[in-house]
Amino acid sequence: GAGVSQSPSNKVTEKGKDVELRCDPISGHTALYWYRQSLGQGLEFLIYFQGNSAPDKSGLPSDRFSAERTGGSVSTLTIQRTQQEDSAVYLCASRKGTGVLTEAFFGQGTRLTVV
């Protein structure tokens, strides 16, 4: 597609359940980022993929959070045993590869509500 696509747009889950959030980046973009945004707050970096390099996982808040990027394209963010404090909007962005100083393009986000 023309832009970054995230699914689902909204997800309500029960505490303790696992959830998977999906991101389809812009075709050809080798860099992919996940951020978390709590209500009324800024963007918290979670994880970053660049090509075939090992991802930068330094922002993942706990071992309940993990992410994969298959074939250098689609990415899935998984949250295991969800807690109420995981409720937030999860944003994905993609960007052209290293050496090209361009902006990142964001999807519309997935609003996760843990009840």
Partner 1 sequence: GESVGLHLPTLSVQEGDNSIINCAYSNSASDYFIWYKQESGKGPQFIIDIRSNMDKRQGQRVTVLLNKTVKHLSLQIAATQPGDSAVYFCAETGAVSSYKLIFGSGTRLLVRP
Question: Which CB sits closer to partner 1, 54 or 101?
Answer: 101
Q: How far is the CB of 97 from partner 1 (least distance, A)?
A: 8
Residues 6+ apart with CB under 8 A from 71: none
The two beta strands, 88-95 and 65-69, are unpaired
Cβ-based nearer residue to partner 1, 14 or 58: 58
Contact letters for partner 1, residues 28-67 (x by CB under 8 A): ---x-x-xx---xxxxxxx-x-x-----x-xx-x------
CB of 102 to partner 1, least distance (A): 8
Nearer to partner 1, 14 or 84 (CB): 84
Q: How far is 98 from 83, CA to CA, in rounded Å?
A: 35
Q: Which of 27, 18, 26 is nearest to 93 (CA)?
A: 26
Answer for the pair 35, 91: CB distance below 8 angstroms, yes or no.
yes
Which pair of structure tokens corresponds to residue 16?
Answer: 């303790």
User: Binding of partner 1 at residue 98 (CB under 8 A)?
Assistant: yes
Q: What are phi and psi of 15, to 5 degrees?
A: -50, 135
Q: Which residues bind partner 1 (CB under 8 A)?
A: 4, 31, 33, 35-36, 40-46, 48, 50, 56, 58-59, 61, 91, 93, 95, 98-99, 101-109
